[in-house]
Structure 1
Amino acid sequence: MSTTLRKSEIINVARREGKVTVERLVDLFSVTPQTIRRDLTELSDEGALERVHGGAVLPSSTANIGYDARRQLNQTAKVDIARACARQIPNDCCIFLNIGTTTEAVAQELLHHKGLLVVTNNINIAVILSANPDIQVIVSGGSLRRVDGGLVGELATDLIRRFRFDISVIGCSALNDAGDILDFDLHEVSVSQAIMAQSDKVWLVADHSKFERKAPVRIGSLADVDAMLTDQAVPERCAVLCQANDTTVTLV
């Protein structure tokens, strides 16, 4: 395989998995570690990837990657997280599911529940849950974000403030070492903050790729959530913060 084709495929792997490692790429392409390190350095110089210890990640940005690409990232981990989350949600309760590919996976796993009242600002989630007549679905108003079916803005927050949720399940775009929960869209962040304020319990669902990304707008902190469900150990400072604030971390 030519260098150009290999570098193109490395970018595709990074988009699917959120991160590439030298070890994995050596096995994938049957080349030397030196060759892969050179490829990653060149891709970093070109701005296509950002070098980290042992590999590379998608570059930091003030804009999120496309929704279809996000759906492909760590699909297995998202399903595992969603199943673990759904198992802990009882029947006959009121919950909120916000915008995100992991919360969509949670919705899919809730299809066998009964007696749920689900409020969401995610049209995709509303469509998924409409398949179960035992689940009542309320869709918030707001401005439609066509790229992902999200509803944001004052109309969304106004409706959210009319409810008190037993559990809210939220996703995020990034989680930094200090435990800050981050996103890209200021309008979406305002909705997420309203959701958290109206909830008895807040659960964060996030796969490990969120530990390696950056986003510019702060939703809140791990100290503000009751539980986090993820697929790999959280960074050390985050773990200390969770322990200090009795935030439960579930690894799937």
Structure 2
Amino acid sequence: MSQTFRHPEILEIARKDGNVTVDRLARHFRVTRQTIRRDLTDLAEAGKLERVHGGAVLPSGTTNIAYAERRTLNAAAKAAIARDCAAQVSRNSSVFLNIGTTTEAVARELLHRENLMVVTNNLNVANILTGNPTCEVILTGGLLRRADGGLIGPVAAETISKFKFDVAIVGCSALDQDGDILDFDLQEVAISQAALRQSRDVYLVADHSKFMRSAPVRIASLADVDVFHTDTPLSARLSERCVEWGTSVHLAST
């Protein structure tokens, strides 16, 4: 197979998994590691991937991946994380869910949890939870971001300020190695920060691909999170920091 045919498939694997490795691609395409390294170098020079030791990751930037693509990325990992997270949500709880495909997966896992009150700035979450007849769903209102059904702006923030949630369940676009939780949109981040201030407990839901990406706007730190639900062990240094901060890390089994 020529590189003309390999490159699109390499990019598709990277979009699905968040990263690619030389060894795995060499086995997949039945070519040498040297051939794959040249492919990854070509894709990096074209700005489509970023080289890292042993492979490549999706490029960092100031713009998020399109919502339609995010919905299909790491779907199995998101579902496992969502099951693990939803299992910790008690019936009769008040819950905030923010914008994101992982929080939407959590909403699907809450369809059979009784007597919840869910506040959200995510139209997709609200639509999912209409399937739970015992769940009271409250939309924050605000400016509609048509690309992903998110509600942002001062109206949304003002609504959140009227509540005290048992738990805020938030997703993110990236997680820095110093433990900073990152996203792309200042207005979206402001909503998540407001929800964290108004919550007794905070759960972060993020799969392994978020460890390999960067985003320009800081939401908070893992130090501000009670439970981090993910699917891959953290680096030794970040694990140590979580112990120092009292942040519990739950690894979901896929």
Both proteins in one fold, TM over 0.5:
yes
Q: Which amino acid aligns with 2:34?
A: Q
SS of the residue aligned with 1:114? Answer: coil
- Answering whether residue 205 of structure 2 is matched by residue 212 of structure 1, we say no
Given that 1:171 and 1:204 are in contact with CA atoms closer than 8 Å, whether structure 2 keeps it comes out as yes
Given that 1:211 and 1:235 are in contact with CA atoms closer than 8 Å, whether structure 2 keeps it comes out as no
Structure 1, gaps ≥5 residues long: none
**Aligned residue for 1:241?**
241
- Equivalent residues in 2 for 1:16-27 (5 A)? 16-27=16-27
**Aligned residue for 1:83?**
83
**Aligned residue for 1:163?**
163
State the alpha-carbon separation in 2 of the partners of residues 104 and 68 from structure 1: 13
**Aligned residue for 1:229?**
229
State the alpha-carbon separation in 2 of the partners of residues 139 and 235 from structure 1: 37
State percent identity of aligned pairs: 59
Q: Which amino acid aligns with 1:168?
A: A
TM-score (norm 1): 0.98
State the alpha-carbon separation in 2 of the partners of residues 238 and 162 from structure 1: 34
State the alpha-carbon separation in 1 of the partners of residues 24 and 70 from structure 2: 21
Q: Which amino acid aligns with 2:204?
A: L
State the alpha-carbon separation in 2 of the partners of residues 27 and 137 from structure 1: 48
**Aligned residue for 1:200?**
200
Structure 2, gaps ≥5 residues long: none
**Aligned residue for 2:121?**
121
SS of the residue aligned with 1:39? Answer: helix
SS of the residue aligned with 1:234? Answer: coil
Given that 1:18 and 1:209 are in contact with CA atoms closer than 8 Å, whether structure 2 keeps it comes out as yes
Structure 1 residue 16 displacement after superposition: 1.3
Given that 1:176 and 1:211 are in contact with CA atoms closer than 8 Å, whether structure 2 keeps it comes out as yes
Given that 1:179 and 1:237 are in contact with CA atoms closer than 8 Å, whether structure 2 keeps it comes out as no
**Aligned residue for 1:178?**
178
State the alpha-carbon separation in 1 of the partners of residues 192 and 160 from structure 2: 10
Deviations 1:107-149 (A, max 9, x none): 0000011100000000000000001111110011111111110
**Aligned residue for 1:59?**
59
Structure 1 residue 26 displacement after superposition: 1.4
Deviations 1:24-62 (A, max 9, x none): 211221111111111001111111100011110111110
- Equivalent residues in 2 for 1:39-58 (5 A)? 39-58=39-58
Deviations 1:153-205 (A, max 9, x none): 10000000000000110000000010000000000010010000000000000
State the alpha-carbon separation in 1 of the partners of residues 199 and 67 from structure 2: 27
Structure 1 residue 19 displacement after superposition: 0.7
**Aligned residue for 1:136?**
136
State the alpha-carbon separation in 1 of the partners of residues 168 and 70 from structure 2: 21
Structure 1 residue 245 displacement after superposition: 1.2
Q: Which amino acid aligns with 1:220?
A: A
Structure 1 residue 237 displacement after superposition: 2.9
TM-score (norm 2): 0.98
Q: Which amino acid aligns with 1:164?
A: K
